[in-house]
Amino acid sequence: MKKEGSDILNLNEDNIDEVINNNEFAFIEFFTPWCPHCSSIAATYEDLATTLKEKGSKVVCGKVNGVTSAKLVERFGIDAYPRFVLFRDGVPTTYQGSGSLPHFEEYLEGKQAPSTVLINNAEELKAFLAGEGTKAIAAIGDVTSKNFNNWKKISLGEGYEWLTFAHVTDASLLGLETTPGVKIFPPVGEPLEYTDLFVRSKISTFLKEKSYPLLQPITENTWHEISGKSKPHVCLMFWEGKEDFDMGLKLAEEFKKDGIVFTFKSVNSTTTFWADQWGASGKVFPTAIFIRWPQPNEPEFTVYDENNGTLTLESATNFLNLALENKYVSFRKSEEAPEQNDYPVTIIVGRNFEDIVYDDQKDVVVDFYATWCEYSSALEPVWELVGEVFEKEENVIIGKLDIPNNKPPANIDKRVQELPTILLFRAGHKDEPIEFPDNTDRTVENLTKWILENIDRKTNVDLANLPEEPELPASEGEEEAEDEVDEKFEL
């Protein structure tokens, strides 16, 4: 069944049921010889199978050729390659993670934990409910009963990955009057009960239709689930101790038809960065952020405009109706524009960005910086001198924008992945900004030459009489600074 030198079983219509039925865990890849992704992951999958064997794992690895075993492809609903499916006690679950060895191992290790845990008393129930996520608990009467076998099969299945499963033998622990039965405990809101026939099809339908939480905390796992499926998402930001869950639940119920996932985050004086990093001011609560996905892994944020007043059920409903139609003008984080702004380097803030940068009669060069960034600080004296070089050029503007405190338009915000970033917005070509190359030293001479080479106008700048380069502080290493930038811009 195995190819010589391989720890992966070659499976087909004749032997796959034997492997699935005789092993508690069977991890099976469906592949085709012509699939480039299948070829690129082949060595990793071999390493996984060998690693699991050496560890004495219960998981066996197999693979099915989708070309020669077309009936198996149809039987298991395989619609893309490679597709990895874990069979646990014969119940299939599709693997949704990446193709790296650590992710494979982490996934399989997690799946070997009990799919449903026994709760014996009120203390254990309290501890279980205190955990993250939505809980589904069944009163099954006896762990040797058919009810328990049905519940275990349900807990092994897919389609309700957001649930954590448990079971009790004493229905009174759940406040149920009869056995069997099921109770769902969402993160926010009242529990839901199921006391109909205890059959898998009916319970599965109930869980899939009723158990997804209307409102749940935003966590790393929640974010990965939402982003992985590109679900429209609303995050409500509350001040800790002043959460308006009633408003959140009503909004979630109202917009359930639109497929929106509702989450919330309670912040305090040390965690306002949650609101800040998604485009809110971080100073006004409650607030709301609507997140859509024009492209996978490319979130687009629309932020409730806190200048329109307190977020209420009425104003939040209006916000979401307009945001769904892409008609809401998002809040733009901005400092106050200076009253005097005739310095060699023009100060640009969120509120005056379009007025200055998109003036189509002028070439505008913008340094996007942050005060905490070492390389932004190193550029500052150089940039001031560049401003002096072009100070008498009426139609060439040298500007700067403190990006942590001022939000540029979304398309420009996406361009700024590292700090500092220098973009040239040319007259007549504002939608095609040019970025100063990061493999070129940011000196007065290099920056001046780059600007002159990319603008379509004559100037009085004399390259032979540029100011002397300022003495720059010693760097502590670009890699360290890039790490700092990446952390600041991480979602």
Residue 147: pLDDT band with limits 50, 70, 90: very high
Both tokens of 375, joined, read 């390389």
Contact in structure between 34 and 69 (CB atoms under 8 Å): no
Residue of 409, 412, 431 lying closest to 422 (CA atoms): 412
* pLDDT at position 487 over 50: no
pTM for the structure as a whole: 0.65
Can you tell me the mean pLDDT for 108-133? 91
* pLDDT at position 490 over 50: no
- Give the pLDDT confidence score for residue 99 in this predicted structure: 87
Q: How far apart are CA 73 and CA 91, in angstroms?
A: 16
**Same domain assignment for residues 104 and 120:** no
- Give the pLDDT confidence score for residue 483 in this predicted structure: 42
Can you tell me the mean pLDDT for 277-299? 91
Residue that has been written with the tokens 């762990």 in this structure:
143
Residue 97: pLDDT band with limits 50, 70, 90: confident
- Give the pLDDT confidence score for residue 298 in this predicted structure: 84
* CB-count exposure of residue 297 (10 Å: 0-12, 13-18, 19+): exposed
- Give the pLDDT confidence score for residue 489 in this predicted structure: 39
Residue 264's beta-bridge partner residues?
217, 236
**Same domain assignment for residues 104 and 143:** no
**Same domain assignment for residues 419 and 301:** no
Residue that has been written with the tokens 């009489």 in this structure:
465
**Same domain assignment for residues 142 and 63:** no
Q: How far apart are CA 86 and CA 66, in angstroms?
A: 17
Contact in structure between 271 and 238 (CB atoms under 8 Å): no
**Same domain assignment for residues 124 and 197:** yes
DSSP secondary structure, 372-422, as one string: T-HHHHHHHHHHHHHHHHTTT-TTEEEEEEETTTSPPPHHHHHH--SSSEE
Q: Is the peptide bond before 467 cis (omega within 30 degrees of 0)?
A: no
Q: Is 333 contained in some domain?
A: no
Q: How far apart are CA 402 and CA 338, in angstroms?
A: 13
- Among residues 111, 126, 144, which one ends one of the domains? 111
- Among residues 111, 139, 162, which one ends one of the domains? 111
One-letter identity of residue 326: N
**Same domain assignment for residues 169 and 202:** yes
- Give the pLDDT confidence score for residue 175 in this predicted structure: 93
- Give the pLDDT confidence score for residue 472 in this predicted structure: 63
Residue 4: pLDDT band with limits 50, 70, 90: low
* pLDDT at position 485 over 80: no
* pLDDT at position 476 over 50: no
- Give the pLDDT confidence score for residue 480 in this predicted structure: 39
For residue 399, count other CB atoms closer than 10 A to its CB.
22
Q: Which domain holds residue 263?
A: 216-324
Q: Is 389 contained in some domain?
A: yes
- Give the pLDDT confidence score for residue 3 in this predicted structure: 60
Residue 479: pLDDT band with limits 50, 70, 90: very low
- Give the pLDDT confidence score for residue 289 in this predicted structure: 97
The DSSP call for residue 473 is P
Residue 397: pLDDT band with limits 50, 70, 90: very high
More confident residue, 340 or 48: 48
One-letter identity of residue 301: F
User: How many domains does one find in the chain?
Assistant: 4
Q: Is 331 contained in some domain?
A: no
**Same domain assignment for residues 470 and 377:** yes
* pLDDT at position 475 over 50: no
Contact in structure between 169 and 197 (CB atoms under 8 Å): no
CATH number of domain containing 253: 3.40.30.10
Q: Is 38 contained in some domain?
A: yes
* pLDDT at position 121 over 90: yes
One-letter identity of residue 297: N
Residue that has been written with the tokens 């494979």 in this structure:
104
**Same domain assignment for residues 469 and 352:** yes
> What is the chain's mean pLDDT, rounded?
90
More confident residue, 165 or 224: 165
- Among residues 57, 80, 111, which one ends one of the domains? 111
More confident residue, 441 or 477: 441
Q: Is 334 contained in some domain?
A: no
Residue 462: pLDDT band with limits 50, 70, 90: very high
**Same domain assignment for residues 392 and 289:** no
Residue 491: pLDDT band with limits 50, 70, 90: very low
Task: Read off φ and ψ for residue 216, nearest 5 degrees.
Answer: -145, 155
More confident residue, 407 or 452: 452
